[in-house]
Amino acid sequence: MTWVRRLRGAVAEHGRLCVGIDPHPGLLDAWGLGDTVDGLGSFSNACVEAFAGHVGIVKPQVAFFERFGSAGIAVLERTIAGLRSAGTLVLSDAKRGDIGTTLDAYASAWLGSTSPLRSDAVTLSPYLGVGALAPAIERAAAHQSGVFVLARTSNADGTAVQTAVDSGGVSVAQHVVDEAARWNAGLGDETVGLVVGATRGHGLDVTAFGGPILAPGLGAQGATVLDLAEIFPDTRELLLPSSSRDILRYGPATADLRAAAHRVRDDVERALS
């Protein structure tokens, strides 16, 4: 089954909310866990128990696992496996971006069929050129996986770069959108998704883009469910609002985490209905 068919199935069953797993030191402390690999493991186990099979798509923030070295990566591998074994889609937020064989190696790590980090999708940075992402996009298509390319992110610091325009008046972010649409047209599938933040009006023309859009910023970064319908008036079917800390703050109890995710999911669905 293709990536987008799996995504549509997950959205139909569990809604459009993407729940982030961000085990940063402040949350580990708030949960009464040490800022150690053991604390990371306990945190991740609770998230898997709470969300696996109950949330359509989960987004581990890779950096918070990487900071513990190989032991942290081992926790991430178990987290990904636990979620995927329950049928929950995993979008690894790794923001990889490089060229040639190096990018292909990154793609193999996150999308390769035999990789212990095998995810359903991965985030990519296009700032070495959208065309440079070809190895990852082609590998994703071959392995029935997806990629989400950063276009207009939720952080204010990205504005100067992403809204810069070329001689024809087309912004960098719009160029990313247009190139993603061309990739999908050539592949005949919505392998390529976009990352477009929900914290501000993005100013992009996405009417020709039919792929999924990850919309980070819901909750702790300031975006509300009411903002979603205003910021994304014509892009709702595969719009995936993402919330992390606003849900994770209810841990460590599994029931509380799951209930928080379901509350936000229901709010999202009402706002986008």
Active-site residue (options: 24, 67, 95, 143): 95
Tell me how far apart the alpha carbons of residues 154 and 95 are, in angstroms, rounded to a whole number. Answer: 14
Is 59 an active-site residue?
no
- What is the C-alpha radius of gyration for the chain, rounded to an integer number of angstroms? 18
Q: Compute CA 182 distance to the chain's CA centroid, rounded to the nearest angstrom.
A: 21
**Neighbour count for residue 12 (Cβ, 10 Å):** 10
* Residues with Cβ within 8 Å of residue 9, at least 6 apart in sequence: 1
CA nearest neighbour of 107 among 125, 80, 89: 125
CA nearest neighbour of 127 among 175, 168, 88, 58: 175
Q: Given phi > 0 = left and psi -120 to 50 = alpha, else beta, which region is 9? A: alpha
Q: 33 and 68 in contact (C-beta within 8 Å)?
A: no
Q: What SS3 state is found at 148?
A: strand
Active site residues: 95
